[in-house]
Each structure stands twice: as structure tokens, then as C-alpha cells.
Amino acid sequence: MSSKVFKLIAEEAHRQKYGLEMIPSENYVSKDVLRALGSILTNKYSEGFPGRRYYGGNEVIDKIENYAVDLAKELFGVPAAFVQSYSGSPANQAITMAVCEPGEIVMGLALSSGGHLTHGAKLNFSSIFFKAVNYTVGEDWKINFGELEALAKKHKPKMIWVGTTAYPFKLDYKKFRKIADEVNATLVADISHITGLIIGGVHESPVPYVDIIMTTTHKTLRGPRGAMILVTDRGLKRDPEIKGKIERAIIPGIQGGPHNHQTAAIAVSLEEALKPSFKKYAAQVAKNAAVLARELGTVSETHLILLTLTEYGYGMGYQAQYALEEAGITVNKNTIPGEPASPFYPSGIRLGTPALTTRGMKEKDMVKVASWIKMVLEEIRSLDLPEEQEKRKDFLKEVRVKLHQNKNLKKIRKEVEKFAGKFPMPGVDDI
């Protein structure tokens, strides 16, 4: 047994239990999901699909994968589902390969406006092997549908992505559908961030409006790290061959054998998502986010808050992330629309409520958490990022030292640890 590895796992378990995990794409999985992930299913090779494997001995694996597929179809109300993708980015790559030929045009929300790398960002496969056109948000930080429609009519994309990673507002799938129909584009929804909210009825489902859906399984769904691809009735009608195209894109297109322990854990999380308690969870996630946003002086219609820090100084995202980490609060630095500083040293932070809600926190707890966040942010005033790029590296080193020694942050951390320790953490408290 590796004493070193397991000591480090215990160290990470302590960090998670006695801190506040507020990165909106992170969550806690249940004891049963962990049991499936750590099972002997990891021993088996299973290239291919149920009933059509390249290896023998897959009778039980076929049953597990078929069960996961059936659960996904039931949960989302779709005729076809694929559960083998290793993660979200490979799943998006498979979808793009299934729909588009190399060099064809894809459209997605710009990374700087809260979009995802795989929706057409520079240096990603989606813009290296395909021609990417990005739409953006307006001054109100909401998707500019006028721009989107004009770009679509001009470029005639083969596929349009509707999906976000740093966007605190609900999405209007009906408007996307109208534009896609105008240019005969395949409409694909990446719902990775908001899957749990959709299942819980907090956010409208894209199923009636889009052709294909991709979701990761490890965010608001509270499953293992993985992904699913779903095809709607509309999508099958648009292209009756789309199921075969997606299969071929998954294997042999971009990957080999599926991770069977991951497939089983996805099935467990889908079982959990079908329970009435999950709807209550999703509703609480949204309630908590709304209160947290209000307390921080902004708004959220989902699970996520994008907070601008321009009132604290120039390029303050890194400083805020590190200061909050010193206080036991985990968020991520993030660009804001119209970023005034740099994508590498941005002016905002991204935070959310899925993980805290899983631990049982409610609205009154969000008020307390917000008060700590505001106290921490006061400690970074005057720590403006130098505008001269050559000075930034040394400056940030000095900032880390300064914040690590900050007595106020140490005091807040003790309060956070005492507070967080009162809430049970799946995977630690119930094992």
C-alpha cells in the first residue's frame, strides 16, 4: 500500500471538509458513486458498444452500460444516449466530428463572454480543424441575439453551440432554435453546468428545441467525471443516421475502451437524480445562488455567479482567488465581459453553490459566506496588477507571500474551518 498517496488523499479530504468549495463546476459525489468508481469494473476492456465488443467477457459490462443508457433516456426524455465519453471535451469533439466535416463552420459563444474552449476557442481542436465563428454578450452580459443572428446569416454555420461556462443567466433555447432554422444549422446544447437545474425543473430543458445535447456528469448532476451525449427526437428526424455517426466518432474516432467503472458510477448518479430529493436539491442550489449573488451586489439566475472586481483595482482576479484560498474559500479567477486587464490575469472571479448545497447549506448560510468573501476582498485593495507585463511575475510572487502572512485572512480561515466542519461531506462523513 502506498502510504504516501493515501496520506495525501487524507490531506485533500481534510481540505475539502474544512473549506468552502465554491467553484461552480465542482461538487461532491455520494458514497455509492465512489463505490462504483473504485470497483473491479476498472479491470475490463470493452471497446465497442453493447453486443458489439472487440473483446470477450463483456456480458455483465453490456448490462451495466445498457442500464446507464436507459436511465439517461428516461431522465431526459430522449430516444438515444451515449455514456462512454471520457469527459466533456472529448464528447464535444465526437459531436463535432459526427456533424461536421473538417473545415466546416461551427459557431459558439466566445470564451471571453463565458463560452467553452470546445465551442470554437483559439488553439482548441474546434478552431484548428474547423472554422470557428464566435458570438458574444452585450453590455448587460447577456447573449447578443442580434449579433448571433447576423453572424449566422453571414457565415451559414453547419453547427451552432448553445452552452456556457461562466454565464449567470438562463438560456432561451427557443431563440437559438429560430436562428438555427434560418440557416439550416444543427443546434447542439452543452448543458454541462446546468444539467442538475434542468432535471430539477429550475431551468428550461433544451430537449424540445435542440438536435443533440452534451452534458458532463460531474457538476450539478453530482456524478463521476464523465460525459453523456443525447440525441433528441428532433435530432433523429433531422439526420436519421446521426446515432451511427456519433458511435463512429466516439470509437474508433477519438477513443478506445470505455471506463467501465465510470459508466457504472454514472448509472448510480442517474438513479439518484431520478429521486424526488434531487428536485429539492436543484431548487436549493438556485435559491442559494440568488441570495449569495444579492449579498455580493450582483445577480444569478442559475447556480453560478460571475463577480467583477474592478471596484477593488486593476486585474484583481488572481489576487482574489489566492486571498480567498488563504481564507479557506475556493473559487477561480475568471475573465469578465469586456475584460479590461488580461485573460491570464483577469478582473473577476467565478463562484457557485452546488457543492455547498450538497453539504446542506441554506440561504442564511449564504449570507454568512458572502460576508466572509467581502471581508477577504477588502484585503486585496491596493494590490493592483502592474500594467507592465514584465513586472507581473515578481509582483504576484510578492502578493502570495503578503497574503499568506495576512493576519485577517488567518482569522477568517479559522472561522471558515469551524463553520464548514459542522456540515457533513459525502465521501468522508458517511464512509
**Hey, which residues are catalytic here?**
45, 47, 190, 216, 219, 225
List the one residue out of 111, 102, 118, 113 whose CA is nearest residue 158: 102
For residue 429, which phi and psi values (nearest 5 degrees)?
Answer: -75, -25
Closest among 395, 400, 401 to 342, alpha carbons compared: 395
Give the Cα separation of 258 and 10 in Å (integer).
29
Q: Which three cell numbers stand for residue 118?
A: 470546445
CB-count burial class (<10 Å; 0-12, 13-18, 19+) for 368:
middle
| Pair 77, 198: CB distance under 8 Å | no
β-strands 80-82, 20-21: how paired? unpaired
Contacts 24+ apart (CB under 8 A), 403-409: 403/319, 403/322, 403/323, 403/326, 403/379, 404/326, 406/323, 406/326, 406/379, 408/375, 408/379, 409/323, 409/326, 409/327, 409/376, 409/379
What residues does 134 pair with on adjacent strands?
Answer: 108
Is residue 29 within 8 A of residue 360, CB to CB? The reply is no
